[in-house]
């Protein structure tokens, strides 16, 4: 188990950390789709070109059996996909869902996105995937979303109000049996199956909707989601490290190479990687082109795992977050996990509360949990990509590795 702790610490610390030096509006890279009419359980679409690390992928999936639900959405690089809203029934037999993955891992290969249902469709199964660059990477970029269903020729998602300038506004309309055209002011990225994928960049924050027109009356579903752009901040952060000291405190050290109009760093910690608390503040150097070193000691880290991040604020109150670090210290209650590593399910013994699973970025993962007894639970990790995951129950946590 100690080797696994070291693995996660190395993974997080070497993940890379650089606050953006310039702002760019989100940019469309590529869109692809796949349609199957044979009643399958699984569908995949592969981008025509290699993707870039740090980008955003949006995936919309539609199938024709409302009693079926998605079991997983994954890709060939093991990126984490998040459901936007909920799966939506429309018409008399169709069901749709919208997912996204941000700050993706990528290499020279072409990413394949795969969606799997809990059972076969009747006939139709389709997926649309889009990739965008210059989308916020240091925290979740999703801002607003909305889904609408109806019957007719005028198709509209309804309005959402964005919170930042230069947001990506992404929309899709899927009809039952009629061709659909895109809305005014949008870039149409796909017309496959006579459905529409469209987008635009909203230069200022405001109210937006995705609109479409069907050539004749039809049942339809329309979805819109907006994503925040890369944030411009005048700090180059080249390192951020955390280490547990002998007195059970945690020392945080970070270094910048250049700062322009920087104001301060807020230090935050979390016991689950999701709920964050400010624990300290350190003034920044304001304006400098020389290396600056900073340090802060957390006197009260959580038992088990503690997540850390920096909130860097400039003199105009703009801010962004660093990537997270994770540390571990001994806890009063010991959790036993077996088998570990695992290829599917694992058993957790010593749990006094329901167990939850997080990836190393602090994102909660959707897994099935069965309670076998008062202190014994079985977790189904079969749908998760390979890698290290934290299991948390109450104030206690431990690590499991999925092969």
Q: DSSP per residue over 275-322, as a string?
A: S-EEEEEEE--SEESS-EEEEEEESSPPSEEEEEEEEEEETTS-EEEP
| Two tokens, residue 153 | 């020729």
Show the domains of the chain with their CATH numbers: 2-19+232-329 (2.60.40.10), 27-227 (no CATH), 336-402 (2.60.40.10)
Beta-carbon count within 10 A of 361 CB: 15
pTM for the whole thing? 0.58
For residue 379, the model assigns a pLDDT of 92
C-alpha dist (Å) from residue 304 to 7, 116, 242, 246, 377: 16, 35, 15, 15, 19
User: Which residue ranges in the chain fall short of pLDDT 70?
Assistant: 1-24, 231-234, 330-333, 361-362, 395
Among the listed residues 205, 158, 151, the one whose alpha carbon sits nearest the alpha carbon of residue 176? 151
**Kind of pairing between the strands at 262-270 and 387-393:** unpaired
Phi, psi angle pair for 193, to nearest 5° = 55, 25
For residue 16, the model assigns a pLDDT of 34
For residue 234, the model assigns a pLDDT of 64
For residue 10, the model assigns a pLDDT of 34
């Amino acid at each position: 188990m100690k080797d696994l702790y070291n693995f996660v610490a190395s993974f997080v610390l070497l993940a890379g950390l650089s606050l953006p030096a310039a702002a760019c509006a989100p940019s469309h890279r590529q869109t692809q789709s796949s349609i199957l009419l044979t009643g399958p359980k699984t569908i995949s679409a592969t981008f025509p070109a290699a993707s870039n690390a740090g980008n955003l992928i949006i995936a919309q999936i539609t199938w024709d059996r409302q009693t079926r639900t998605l079991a997983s959405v994954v890709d060939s690089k093991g990126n984490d996909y998040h459901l936007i809203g909920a799966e939506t029934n429309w018409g008399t037999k169709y069901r749709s869902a919208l997912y996204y993955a941000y700050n993706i891992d990528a290499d020279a290969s072409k990413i394949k996105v795969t969606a799997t249902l809990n059972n076969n469709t009747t006939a139709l199964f389709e997926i649309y995937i889009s990739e965008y660059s210059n989308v916020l990477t240091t925290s979740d970029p999703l801002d607003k979303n909305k889904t609408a269903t109806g019957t007719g020729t005028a198709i509209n998602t309804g309005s959402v109000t964005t919170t930042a300038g230069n947001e990506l506004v992404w929309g899709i309309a899927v009809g039952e049996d009629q061709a659909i055209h895109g809305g005014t002011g949008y870039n149409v990225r796909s017309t496959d199956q006579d459905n529409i994928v469209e987008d635009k960049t909203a230069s200022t924050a405001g109210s937006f909707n995705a609109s479409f027109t069907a050539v004749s009356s039809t049942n339809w579903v329309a979805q819109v989601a907006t994503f925040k752009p890369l944030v411009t901040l005048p700090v180059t952060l080249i390192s951020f490290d955390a280490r547990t000291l002998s007195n059970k405190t945690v020392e945080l050290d970070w270094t910048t190479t250049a700062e322009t109009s920087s104001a301060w760093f807020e230090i935050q910690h979390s016991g689950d990687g999701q709920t964050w608390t400010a624990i300290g503040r350190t003034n920044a150097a304001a304006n400098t082109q020389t290396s600056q070193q900073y340090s802060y000691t957390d006197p009260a880290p959580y038992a088990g795992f503690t997540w850390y991040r920096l909130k860097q604020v400039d003199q105009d109150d703009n801010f962004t977050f660093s990537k997270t670090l994770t540390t571990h210290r001994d806890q009063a209650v010991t959790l036993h996990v077996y088998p570990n590593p695992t290829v599917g399910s694992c058993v957790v013994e010593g749990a006094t509360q329901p167990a939850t699973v997080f990836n190393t970025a602090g994102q909660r993962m959707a897994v099935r949990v069965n309670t076998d007894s008062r202190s014994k639970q079985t977790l189904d990790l079969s749908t998760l990509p390979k890698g290290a995951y934290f299991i948390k129950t109450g104030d206690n946590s431990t690590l499991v590795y999925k092969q």
